[in-house]
């Protein structure tokens, strides 16, 4: 029997057991993919990451990402959480409280920025997300189906003036505007109905949002449902919030000058308050989107396999 160390990092939060957790195995050794999958299944977390030697020159480390059932090509919060853990354990040195590195995930290289302005302060980690593409609004006839999947009166969707829209940032997201924070907090998604809806629309998740927030100074309140990915409700979703920023920019609803900054609160309804910070620059031919937030550690220990 072998054993490996694990550290749980909570991403998009200042407090342990907030945000979106990821279990990081910083020293997996010669684990096979089957062993990685068995450990990920045994940890019973949504996602577990394993640090591996990179193949690409210039990459700080390689990363393999697993859910309890399968390996995934890319996961933003696993990337951020793993970079944080390696910085905290000294495997990824910070110079003057900062580091900019490239990480290899599968065949892709992803840039990551780590910032700790104060030696005893929180660490902020961010990365670029896949370029966004507005696929277009869904047919208005789908409004009643969306409402039924969320246990809503269809008027609460039709009355927002903004159409439910499909946006792709690597993962295709159905963005659904809501008229009020109260409506958001009362959503009761019907898992199978949400899954069937997303399947028919070719999407991986549904993001509902309101421009009323719980915390003053935040810009949007967000809930994300992703039954096709095995996630009933996600506490913090970088790629989906990137899609939301692209949606709001498309409708000219971001204030100030580019690059626009969006503070997205999420996870309150499931007891894991999160803050996802999105920066979007629309001055180029394709919007450039960066997603990040604070990361903390909450658990560490040993896994036997």
Output phi, psi for 93, to 5 deg.
Answer: -70, 145
| pTM given for the model | 0.92
Using alpha carbons, list the distances in angstroms from residue 47 to 9, 74, 95, 204, 295: 11, 11, 29, 16, 16
Question: What pLDDT is attached to residue 208?
Answer: 98
Non-local CB neighbours of 18 within 8 Å, separated by 6+ positions: 10, 12, 235, 267, 272, 273, 274
Question: What pLDDT is attached to residue 274?
Answer: 97
Question: What pLDDT is attached to residue 283?
Answer: 85
Q: Strand pairing partners for 62?
A: 52, 104
pLDDT in tens, 246-302: 999 999 999 888 889 999 999 999 999 999 999 999 888 888 999 999 999 999 999
pLDDT in tens, 209-256: 999 999 999 999 999 999 988 889 999 999 999 999 999 999 999 988
Has domain 3-128+294-304 been given CATH number 3.10.310.10? yes
Angle at 56 between CA 243 and CA 71, to 5 degrees: 55
CA–centroid distance for 199 within its chain:
20
Question: What pLDDT is attached to residue 50?
Answer: 97
Question: What pLDDT is attached to residue 1?
Answer: 84
Distance, in Å, from the CA atom of 81 to the CA atom of 25, rounded to the nearest integer, reads 11
pLDDT in tens, 113-122: 999 988 777 8
Query: How many CA atoms are closer than 13 Å to the CA of 171, on its beta-carbon side?
Result: 27
Structure tokens at 262: 């969006």
- Percent of the chain, pLDDT > 90? 77
For the chain, give every residue range classified as CATH 3.10.310.10. 3-128+294-304, 133-286
pLDDT in tens, 97-143: 999 999 999 888 999 999 998 877 789 999 998 888 999 999 988 99
> Mean pLDDT score of the chain, rounded to an integer?
92
Question: What pLDDT is attached to residue 155?
Answer: 82
Model confidence band, residue 72 (pLDDT cutoffs 50, 70, 90) = confident
Question: What pLDDT is attached to residue 36?
Answer: 94
Shortest CA distance to 27 belongs to which of 56, 2, 55, 10? 2
Question: What pLDDT is attached to residue 161?
Answer: 84
Distance, in Å, from the CA atom of 250 to the CA atom of 156, rounded to the nearest integer, reads 22
Q: Span 133-286: which CATH code?
A: 3.10.310.10
């Amino acid at each position: 029997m072998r054993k490996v160390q694990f550290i749980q990092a909570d991403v998009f939060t200042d407090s342990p057991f907030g945000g979106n957790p990821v279990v990081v195995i910083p020293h997996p050794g010669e684990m096979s993919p089957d062993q990685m999958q068995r450990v990920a299944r045994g940890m019973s977390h949504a996602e577990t990451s394993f640090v591996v030697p990179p193949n690409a020159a210039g990459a700080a480390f390689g990363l393999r990402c697993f859910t309890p059932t399968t390996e995934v090509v890319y996961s933003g919060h696993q990337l951020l959480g793993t970079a944080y853990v390696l910085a905290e354990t000294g495997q990824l040195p910070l110079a003057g409280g900062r580091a900019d590195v490239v990480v290899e995930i599968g065949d892709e290289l992803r840039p990551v920025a780590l910032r700790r302005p104060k030696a005893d302060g929180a660490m902020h980690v961010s990365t670029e997300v896949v370029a966004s593409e507005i696929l277009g609004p869904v047919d208005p006839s789908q409004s009643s189906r969306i409402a039924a999947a969320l246990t809503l009166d269809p008027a609460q969707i039709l009355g927002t003036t903004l159409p439910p829209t499909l946006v792709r940032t690597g993962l295709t997201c159905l963005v659904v505007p809501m008229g009020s924070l109260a409506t958001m907090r009362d959503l009761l998604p019907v898992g199978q109905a949400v899954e069937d809806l997303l399947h028919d629309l070719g999407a991986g998740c549904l993001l509902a949002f309101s421009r009323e927030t719980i915390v003053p100074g935040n810009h949007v309140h967000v809930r994300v449902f992703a039954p096709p990915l095995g996630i009933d409700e996600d506490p913090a979703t970088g790629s989906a919030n990137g899609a939301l920023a692209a949606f709001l920019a498309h409708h000219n609803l971001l204030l100030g000058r580019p690059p626009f900054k969006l503070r997205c609160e999420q996870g309150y309804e499931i007891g894991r308050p999160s803050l996802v910070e999105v920066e979007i620059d629309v001055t180029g031919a394709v919007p450039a989107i960066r997603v990040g937030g604070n990361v903390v550690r909450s658990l560490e220990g040993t896994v036997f396999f």
